[in-house]
Amino acid sequence: MAHIAAIGEVMVELAPFPTADSNGREIMALSFAGDTYNTSVYMARLGLTTDYVTQLGEDPYSTQIMQRMAGENIGTGLIKQLPGRSPGLYIIRNTPDGEREFFYWRKEAPARELFSSQEAADQLCQKLVHCNCVYLSGITLAIIGEKSREFLYNSLHKLRQQDVIVAFDSNYRPRLWRDKAEAQQAMLSIMQYTDIALLTLDDEQLLWGDDSVEGCKKRYATYKLSELVLKRGADDAIIITPTEELRVPVPPVQGVIDTTGAGDTFNAGYLAGRLQGKSLVDSAKQGIRCAGIIIRHRGAIIDKAIFDKELGA
């Protein structure tokens, strides 16, 4: 069975109920989420042997996160728990026009220290050489900081020399970066160590001011990507390899409720397909189908029984 490890951060999520209590007080539902964590959940549900790589505390919420992962068949053996620490937190607020705002408390989160030294990075690298693929995102890059990114790049270089596939989603979030120039440099740097790039054109527009397919092809032409996947919402997904360019239609979805996590779930479907031997097109179709299920439900991670039922329908 194919084995993948995702690297990133899991946060405590507080989301408001639609109505307040009898005293007018806002009621919040507690859950856990994070971009690469969301992808890990669905990769595990799709049959990949999945490990998660992060750092947590030894508090009750970190314990709940570990239990939640175990319940999703996600391996926790590569997670380090630091005494006296606790995971980051974010709160979702619904605006009057139906959009959602996110407010974060994550500056002291232990995941930020994932690659705090070359020694720590090398120790993790030794554990990851047994995987078929490692997956990370631009959020992973942003939270660990500039010096740690260099340690990470060195590890990715060593992993690729051991035939481990590196998959990356830029997932650009401006507030996590010092400025746009820092983000641009980091995104281009990691492309040197990436095999499968899973990019969203909305992020490309935010980061580069150019969301055209031709612009993306030109921007990444000098990098040795085996697969450049461009996610374009309701428009065709595009897969670019050194020898071909493929377009995969996105069927219309009725009853869209919440697009949170759609890109993360596409990534899960696509990577699961590729690592299980499916073609480029069939993998993209699986990713599109998975994303189409998620957006008809609230939240990035939906009940497993619902997901399995709709996937098999």
Chain centroid to CA 174 = 16
Q: H-type helices in the chain, by residue range?
A: 35-45, 60-71, 118-128, 138-144, 146-161, 180-191, 201-208, 213-219, 262-275, 280-294, 304-312
- In angstroms, the Cα distances linking 96 to 99, 100, 250, 268 are 7, 9, 30, 32
Average pLDDT in the chain: 93
Active-site residue, from 97, 163, 264, 303: 264
d(CA 12, CA 65): 9
The 10s digit of each residue's pLDDT in 105-149 is 988 899 999 999 999 999 999 999 999 999 999 999 999 999 999
Would you kindly state where each structural domain of the chain is located, as residue ranges? 3-312
d(CA 165, CA 186): 19
Grade residue 94 by pLDDT with cuts at 50, 70 and 90: low
Question: Once rounded to an integer, what is the mean pLDDT over residues 151-166?
Answer: 96
d(CA 309, CA 15): 25
Grade residue 97 by pLDDT with cuts at 50, 70 and 90: low
Grade residue 167 by pLDDT with cuts at 50, 70 and 90: very high
- Per-residue pLDDT at 26: 80
The 10s digit of each residue's pLDDT in 275-309 is 999 999 999 999 999 999 999 888 889 999 999 99
Contacts of 211 (CB under 8 A, 6+ apart): 201, 202, 204, 205
Percent of residues in the chain assigned helix, strand, coil, to nearest 5: 40, 20, 35
d(CA 75, CA 69): 7
What is the pTM (predicted TM-score) of this model? Answer: 0.94
Chain centroid to CA 227 = 17
Q: Are 187 and 207 in contact (CB under 8 A)?
A: yes
SS3 234: coil
- In angstroms, the Cα distances linking 259 to 6, 99, 267 are 22, 10, 14
- Per-residue pLDDT at 99: 61
- Per-residue pLDDT at 312: 86
Q: Are 9 and 88 in contact (CB under 8 A)?
A: yes
Pair type for strands 227-231 and 196-200? parallel
Whether the pLDDT of residue 258 is over 90: the answer is: no
Q: Are 74 and 41 in contact (CB under 8 A)?
A: yes
Tokens of 14: 């507080």
* Whether CATH 3.40.1190.20 fits 3-312: yes
Q: Are 121 and 147 in contact (CB under 8 A)?
A: no
- Per-residue pLDDT at 44: 98
Q: Is 20 exposed, middle or buried (0-12, 13-18, 19+ CB in 10 A)?
A: exposed
Tokens of 119: 């020694």
- Per-residue pLDDT at 19: 72
Q: Put residue 34 in one of left, alpha, beta given phi > 0 → left and psi -120 to 50 → alpha.
A: left
- Per-residue pLDDT at 1: 81
Whether 264 sits among the annotated catalytic residues: the reply is: yes
